[in-house]
Chain A
Amino acid sequence: DTEVTQTPKHLVMGMTNKKSLKCEQHMGHRAMYWYKQKAKKPPELMFVYSYEKLSINESVPSRFSPECPNSSLLNLHLHALQPEDSALYLCASSQDGVAGEQYFGPGTRLTVT
């Protein structure tokens, strides 16, 4: 089973709202990732958690705040977003944070109004 689940599938939020995206995997993977994808573009890496510790933050604005409560769960807390933050937010996981296959979830389509 190579399933990564994400909720919600769609999210519309105003610029003053606070919301959270959730990601879950039960493959025993120890690395989890957040990506942002704009239309017709490849995914752009935002954050990497390896063994529940934040290992990579690709200079993402502080209005995006990741959290890894345990090895199966990954959250992305959103606050005071801008319309240009509207995108597909993808979660992925891999065996570890060193090398190898990454499996993506279906994504959350976020629209900021």
Chain B
Amino acid sequence: GENVEQHPSTLSVQEGDSAVIKCTYSDSASNYFPWYKQELGKGPQLIIDIRSNVGEKKDQRIAVTLNKTAKHFSLHITETQPEDSAVYFCAADSPLLTGNQFYFGTGTSLTVIP
């Protein structure tokens, strides 16, 4: 079945620096790749997503890139701010799963140091 690996598990950056989180997946038939941000005590918030017919997508300071050949996708956060501190989860859909199910990565705890 699908396996989504996420790295690193923890990441600390200085405020203003960039942060990059990487995920790899195993099922070449996966088509949809969302990223979620989860702050302490809250539910996951969809922050950006990408579909397999697109290589890159940007939304202000956040961007996601997808390399279908290599089966990996990455989240890029530029000009990080303390409020970016949270746990980030990547996910991938899979035709092996019925319905709208995702395989989630194991999460990255991002700390932005003021």
What is the minimal beta-carbon distance from A19 to any residue of chain B, in angstroms?
Answer: 19
The reply to whether B101 and A105 form a contact with Cβ atoms under 8 Å apart is no
Query: Which residue of chain B lies nearest to A90 when distances are taken between CB atoms in the complex?
Result: B43
For chain A, give the interface size range: 20 to 34
0/1 string, A69-113, CB within 8 A of B gives 1 = 000000000000000000010100010111111111111010000
0/1 interface trace, chain A 43-64, chain B, CB 8 Å (1 if under):
1010010100001100000000
- Do B107 and A42 touch across chains, with their CB atoms under 8 A apart? yes
Question: For chains A and B in complex, what number of residue pairs have CB atoms within 8 angstroms?
Answer: 63
Within the complex, what minimum Cβ distance (angstroms) separates B86 from chain A? Answer: 13
How distant is A41 from chain B, measured CB to nearest CB, in Å? 7
Task: Give chain B nearest CB distance to A2 CB in angstroms.
Answer: 8
CB distance from B1 to the nearest CB of A (A): 14
Interface flags, B28-51, vs A, CB<8A=1, else 0: 000110101000011111100100
Bound state CA distance, A88 and B40, in angstroms? 11
The segment from B57-65, B66-74, B92-100 found at the interface with A is B92-100
Contact A100 B43 (CB under 8 A): no
Q: Distance in Å from the Cβ of A103 to the closest Cβ of chain B?
A: 6
Please state if B42 and A102 are interface contacts (CB–CB under 8 Å): no
Q: Chain B nearest CB: distance from A24 CB in Å?
A: 14
Given A100-B32, A101-B34, answer yes or no on A41-B99 (Cβ-Cβ < 8 Å). no
Closest 8 CB pairs of A and B: A42-B104, A104-B43, A97-B99, A106-B43, A107-B43, A104-B44, A105-B43, A90-B43
- Partner-A contacts on B (CB < 8 A): 31-32, 34, 36, 41-46, 49, 87, 89, 91, 93, 98-102, 104-107, 109
By a beta-carbon cutoff of 8 Å, the part of chain A in contact with chain B is: 2, 4, 6, 31, 40-43, 45, 48, 50, 55-56, 88, 90, 94, 96-107, 109
